[in-house]
Structure 1
Amino acid sequence: MLGISAFAFSRSLRRVSVNAALATLGSAFFAFAFLGGFASGDSDRDARLLAHVSVVVSASLVYLLLYVLGILRQREVARRAGLALAGVTALVLAGSWSLEPLQAQALGTAIACLIGLAALVLSLRRALRGDRLAWVVVVGVFFMLLAIAGLGWIALHRSGAPWQLHALTATAATAYLVTMASVLWMRYAYLVELHQVMAHGPSYDPVTRMRSHGETGRMVGEAFRQYRDDPVPLGMIVVSIANLDVLGKLYGQSAVNHALFVCAGRLRREVPEYAETGRLADDSFLLLVRNCSNSGPLLALARAVQARLSRPVKLNTSFEAGSIGAKQTRWVAEIGVGVLRVYRPDARAASAVAMGRGMSRTAWSYPSRVAWYDEKSGEIVGMPLVPA
């Protein structure tokens, strides 16, 4: 993890590197101290040192976990949480001096577990609200609690701790570090990719990872060449975003790049493997389904894409992509989806794409935001709303 943090620092992602380094060094320092790494021969002095280490390090690690999870994105919330943790830490450390050394050490371990339990409750609440990353944090905090309790017991009963307790504690501590590494990766892989998108600008294709819109044209051209040789119907879905221009005028090109990045990521997660995707112009995406003999799955996919991309998102409106807490604004994409099936022998690629794009713009005025070319009537119709 230290190596990863150094690599992130070299890529100018300083927030990533600092968080990874703090998580690693804090955990290693805690384990090293409780396993006797700072033993001086004076048991009373060592016990008080461990009391201080347990409270300070556990509070720091919990604060870091909450920050990575996104609970502390707002400065006021982060300030209050920091003051609360600092106040609890100072109060416990001051009160521990009124106790015997071993009692102070036990109190420090207990407070560290209570701080971890509070973080576990907060993470679990966020996970139950639908944050998938929070479930990984819940697992990590659980292992952290096991490691703290095990190390505290070993420190209090150093000569009598069974080897099974050592094994359980070592496993929990290792599992915590592995979980923390996965949480950092899941959170900051997003920022690393976003950093690339905002750096490359509109020449970077956030759907197919191609740097040129021409690749989409070549994909469609190849599909139509195969269609002429073997006229199996093609399904086309064009997704257009209506309010990108307004977003750019208000917040600049970086916000537009971020919006495209988020929409493309959602699109990739929603689209099945058999559908090919590509960037189309500056405000549209193209989905191509080969061997589309039935319009039902195509329309179902169009509805799912429209619903997924219409969810609100918090956009980063500053150029500093290395921080989650950068300037943000809530934004909802105004999505229009055009759906058609290419089945005529004389169909041309350019005409089909143009028709799909025009239908997606027409869909902006429909309640369902989905326009479909009805093959029986030969008309463009709006899909009915699906009851929630």
Structure 2
Amino acid sequence: MDTLAAGFWGAFFGTVVLMLAGSVLAFARSLRRVALTSGLSGLISACFVGAFLGWLPIDSPETEARVLAHVAVVAAVSLSLMLLSLLGLTKTRAAARRPRSALLALALVVVAVGWALEPRQALALGSATAFAVGCAMLAVTVHSARRGDRLAWEAVCGIACMLVALAGLSRIALGGGDAPLWVHLVSASAGTAYLALLAAAMWSRYSYLIELSEVMAQGPSYDPVTRMRSHNETGQLLGEVFRHRPDEDRSIGLVAASIANLSALESLHGRAALNHALFVCAGRVRRSTPEFVDAGRLGEDGFILVERDVRDAERLVQVARDVCRRLSRPVDVGTSRDPHALDSERTEWVPQVGVSVLVATTDARPTDAVAVARAMSRTAWTYPSRLAWYDRSAGQIAELPLGDAA
């Protein structure tokens, strides 16, 4: 092998070592599922590459071709199952049974057919099957990404790189190790990129579970439960926003969101489930908060968004609609405090949300404005749209019209 090609493949195997080290760290933090998935993914990828580069201690080319055919199929099936697990598509036994059975059946059929073919034909069939399985996984990840799973976009890029590496390694193996230098360079670079993207996806999952386990243990008094302003900081923010200056004439926009069934969730599933629900809902509120709006906690069951100077009421109404839409989506709430069981022990919970829009002036008392906004959000629980605003012409709280500004 050329020295330059050896250097590129050395970078690939160095990435594998880093992944294994990260797996040990995850295992030490009790995230056994994440550690196992990460470690096995790196190890299987390394074994696959080593085998296709001709590093197996086999003298017979025919025997080596048959072994490589089996390696290709086993690696493709194993990595596909781990990818589905990473994306959360096999959380339950029922959800995992169908893809697992289909992939195992495919592997058995390909291996059986391969023994009826010549060794090099069996190797070509195994490589083609691995490539087809990779394409199927690419379609699955694209579907997940389009449904809003941000983790899936990393998987999409990773699988695309993996397919490039697989095509290059198949060319190397079918050519008996005699391949142009550029094939080695492209394959090694794509393989390294695949591992790097896979490691990034694993880290996202790992850090999410670590943070989630912490907030479920500590509760609402612990800042990371919402990763937002604490109650005291929110109060200070409102005091600053409502501080009136004689030469100042501006309106302050408040969007309050209250969740009606948090206490019921705690009664049914415990404090950990409540903390998980707050964690997820707060993340949705943060993603709904534009740059011109500040956000914070509002009591034990809600959030408040503040616009310091309202120039366009319709813009504030749109923020409220976005918050209401995001918060109303179902949440898979964890019911266990054990970090490695967070993905498996879950129940679906639908937040009962009320959102209000209030435009106040700087001469109003912050406590009064917040109290009115919170009361309006609770009144919104009774509206079909779950949105409330103060109708100045009627002098009363009303359901927010679908197309009119407050």
Q: Secondary structure at the match of 2:294?
A: strand
Deviation of 1:244 after TM superposition, in Å, equals 0.8
Residue pair 1:338, 1:372 contacting (<8 A) in 2 also = yes
User: Partner residue of 2:11?
Assistant: none
Counterparts of 1:156 and 1:211, CA distance in 2: 59
The 1-side partners of 2:190 and 2:24 are apart by 25
Aligned to 1:340: 358
Distance in 2, Cα, partners of 1:141 & 1:106: 20
Name the residue aligned to 1:175. 193
Q: Which deviations, in whole Å up to 9, do the C-alpha atoms of 1:123-180 show, x marking residues without a partner?
A: 3444454544434333322222222221111012135311222222122212221222
Residue among 16, 27, 50 paired with 2:68: 50
Report which stretch shifted further, 55-64 or 306-315: 306-315
Which residue identity lines up with residue 66 of structure 1 in the other structure?
A: L
Contact 2:53 2:177 (8 Å CA) reproduced: no
Residue matched to 1:61: 79
Query: What aligned pairs does 1:1-388 form with structure 2 within 5 A after superposition?
Result: 1-206=19-224, 209=227, 212-225=230-243, 230-323=248-341, 325-343=343-361, 345=363, 347-385=364-402
For structure 2, which runs of at least 5 residues remain unmatched after alignment?
1-18
Q: Secondary structure at the match of 1:160?
A: coil
For 1:206 and 1:298, the matched residues in 2 are separated by 27
Amino acid of the structure 2 residue aligned with 1:165: V
Cα distance change on mapping 1:205 and 1:355 into 2, 3 Å? farther
User: How big is the shift at 1:292?
Assistant: 2.0
Displacement of 1:386 = 5.0
> Structure 2 CA distance, aligned partners of 1:321 and 1:96?
43
Q: 1:210 to 1:141 in 2, by over 3 A?
A: closer
Distance change (3 Å), C-alpha of 1:125 and 1:310: same
**Aligned 8 A contact 1:207 1:279 in 2:** no
Decide whether aligned partners of structure 1 residues 227 and 356 sit closer, same or farther in structure 2, where only a CA change above 3 A counts.
farther
Q: Is the partner of 1:202 in helix, strand or coil?
A: coil
Tell me if the contact between 1:195 and 1:322 (Cα under 8 Å) persists in the aligned partners. no
Identity across matched positions, percent: 49
- CA deviation string 1:238-295 (max 9, x = no partner): 1100111111111111111111111111110111122111112110111111122442
Q: Is the 8 A contact 2:227 2:282 kept in 1?
A: no
The alpha-carbon deviation at position 314 of structure 1 amounts to 2.0
Q: Contact between 2:226 and 2:279, CA under 8 Å: does it hold in 1?
A: no
**The 10-residue stretch of structure 1 (241-250 or 127-136) with the greater mean CA deviation from structure 2:** 127-136
Moved more, 168-177 or 218-227: 218-227
Q: Residue 227 and residue 299 in structure 1: after superposition, are their counterparts in 2 closer, same or farther (change >3 A)?
A: farther
CA apart distance, 1:100: 3.3
TM-score when normalising by structure 1: 0.90
Question: For residue 14 of structure 2, what is the aligned residue in structure 1?
Answer: none
Which piece of structure 1 moves more, 178-187 or 333-342? 178-187
Matched residues in 2 for 1:239 and 1:269: separation? 14
**Distance (Å, rounded) in 2 between the aligned partners of 1:156 and 1:248:** 60
Gaps of 5+ in 1: none
Amino acid at match of 2:23: S
Q: Secondary structure at the match of 2:340?
A: coil
How many residue pairs match? The answer is 386
Preserved CA contact (<8 Å) 2:388 2:399: yes
Q: Call closer, same or farther: CA 1:328–1:231 in 2, change over 3 Å.
A: same
Please give the TM-score of this superposition, normalised by the length of structure 2. Answer: 0.86
